[in-house]
C-alpha cells in the first residue's frame, strides 16, 4: 500500500500480531464490558422513532435551511428532530412526548410553538399536519430491530459454518457482536439519540466487520492447506498477507462515512457516526481479535480441521 512518494505498508509485512494477542483480546473485552455496563446501567436516549411523540409538518414560503431551523428551535427550548421531505420547502419536525401533551389541544399548542420558532420574517412557515404518535409504534420498531439483528447473526452462522468450519463461525460472530456492542455502548455512554438511522449504522457495522473477517479467514484456509507450519505462524502470515487490503478497504469506507457525517445533515449524523466507529473497531477486531481467537481453548484450529476430508478408500477401489 503506497501513496506516492510514501509507502504506508511494506510490500511483504511481517508483523507478529500473535505475540500480543492476549493483550488485545483483553483490551477489546474490557471495552465490551464497559459498553455493556453503559447499556444496562444508563440505557439509550431513544429518539421519537421508538418513544412516540408529536409530529409537525411545516411548509415554508421559500426553501428552508434545516440546520438553521433546528438552531432556532433549540434556542426556543424545543429539542426536536428536523428533516426535509418532499420539496425543499417542506420540513418534518418530531418532538419527544411530554406529560399532558397527548391531548389534541396540547398537541395543537405544541405545533404552534414549533411554527413560531421555525418561522422568520422573510420565510414564514405554515402547519400542514400535526399529530401525536403513540409509543406502540416505537415498541414495534424496536422489536423489529432486534429481529433484524438476530436474523443477520443466524445468517452469518449458517454461511460461515458451511463455507469454513464451525470454529470460524463462532469466532466471527463473537468478533462481530463485540464490535456492535462497543458501538451501541458509545451511544449509551454519550447520550446521543438512538433512532432508526443509528440502528441502520449498527447493521452496517455487522456487515463490514463480517466481510473483513471472512476475507482473512479465507486466506487462513488457503494457507492451512498450502503451508507447512504451525497454526500460529499460518494465522500470523494470513493477517499480514491481507493487511494491505484490510486497511485500504477500511480507509475508503471510513472516508465515505465521514463525508456523510459532514454533509449529510443532522438526520444522518447518527448513522454516519455509528458507521465510522464500527469501521474502526471492525478493522481492529479483524486484525487483532478474529484470528487470535482461533488459538484459544475449544476454538483452537488445527490443520486437520481445514484439510479436505479423505475419501472412502473402499468406494474408490470399487470404481472401474
**Domains present along the chain, CATH in parentheses:** 13-44+137-306 (1.20.1640.10), 53-133 (3.30.70.3400)
As to burial, measured by CB atoms within 10 angstroms (0-12 exposed, 13-18 middle, 19+ buried), residue 103 is exposed
User: Whole-angstrom Cα distance, residue 285 to residue 291?
Assistant: 9
Non-local (6+) Cβ contacts of 184 within 8 A are 35, 39, 44, 202
Q: Is 126 helix (H, G, I), strand (E, B) or coil?
A: strand
Does the pLDDT value for residue 28 go beyond 50?
yes
Q: The C-alpha cell of 293 is what?
A: 481467537
Mean pLDDT over each residue of the chain, to the nearest integer = 80
pLDDT value for 77: 82
Cell of 110: 405544541
What's the pLDDT tens digit per position in 132-185? 776 655 667 667 777 777 787 787 778 777 777 788 888 888 898 899 999 999
The share of the chain scoring above pLDDT 90, in percent, equals 17
Side-chain half-sphere of 200: how many Cα atoms within 13 Å? Answer: 11
Please count the residues of the chain. Answer: 320
The reported pLDDT for the residue numbered 99 is 54
Helices within 60-134 (DSSP H only): 66-75, 104-118
Q: What pTM did the predictor assign?
A: 0.74
Amino acid at each position: 500500500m503506497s501513496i506516492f512518494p510514501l509507502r504506508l505498508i511494506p510490500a511483504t509485512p511481517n508483523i507478529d500480531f500473535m505475540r500480543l494477542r492476549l493483550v488485545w483480546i483483553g483490551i477489546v473485552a474490557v471495552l465490551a464490558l464497559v459498553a455493556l455496563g453503559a447499556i444496562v446501567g444508563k440505557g439509550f436516549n431513544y429518539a421519537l422513532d421508538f418513544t412516540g411523540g408529536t409530529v409537525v409538518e411545516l411548509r415554508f414560503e421559500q426553501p428552508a435551511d434545516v440546520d438553521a431551523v433546528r438552531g432556532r428551535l433549540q434556542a426556543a427550548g424545543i429539542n426536536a428532530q428536523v428533516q426535509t421531505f418532499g420539496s425543499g420547502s417542506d420540513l418534518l419536525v418530531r418532538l419527544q412526548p411530554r406529560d399532558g401533551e397527548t391531548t389534541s389541544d396540547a398537541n395543537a399548542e405544541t405545533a404552534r410553538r414549533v411554527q413560531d420558532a421555525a418561522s422568520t420574517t422573510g420565510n414564514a412557515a405554515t402547519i400542514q399536519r400535526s399529530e401525536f404518535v403513540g409509543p406502540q409504534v416505537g415498541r414495534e420498531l424496536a422489536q423489529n430491530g432486534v429481529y433484524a439483528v438476530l436474523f443477520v447473526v443466524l445468517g452469518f452462522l449458517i454461511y460461515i459454518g458451511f463455507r469454513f468450519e464451525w470454529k470460524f463461525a463462532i469466532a466471527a460472530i463473537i468478533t462481530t457482536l463485540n464490535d456492535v456492542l462497543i458501538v451501541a455502548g458509545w451511544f449509551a455512554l454519550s447520550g446521543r439519540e438512538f433512532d432508526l438511522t443509528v440502528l441502520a449504522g449498527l447493521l452496517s457495522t455487522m456487515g463490514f466487520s463480517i466481510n473483513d473477517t471472512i476475507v482473512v479467514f479465507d486466506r487462513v484456509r488457503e494457507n492451512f492447506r498450502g503451508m507447512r507450519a504451525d497454526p500460529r505462524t499460518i494465522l500470523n502470515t494470513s493477517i499480514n498477507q491481507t493487511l494491505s487490503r484490510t486497511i485500504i478497504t477500511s480507509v475508503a469506507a471510513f472516508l465515505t462515512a465521514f463525508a456523510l457525517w459532514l454533509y449529510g445533515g443532522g438526520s444522518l449524523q447518527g448513522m454516519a457516526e455509528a458507521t465510522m466507529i464500527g469501521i474502526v473497531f471492525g478493522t481492529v477486531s479483524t486484525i487483532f481479535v478474529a484470528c487470535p481467537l482461533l488459538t484459544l481453548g475449544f476454538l483452537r484450529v488445527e490443520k486437520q480441521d481445514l484439510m479436505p476430508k479423505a475419501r472412502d478408500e473402499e468406494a474408490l477401489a470399487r470404481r472401474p
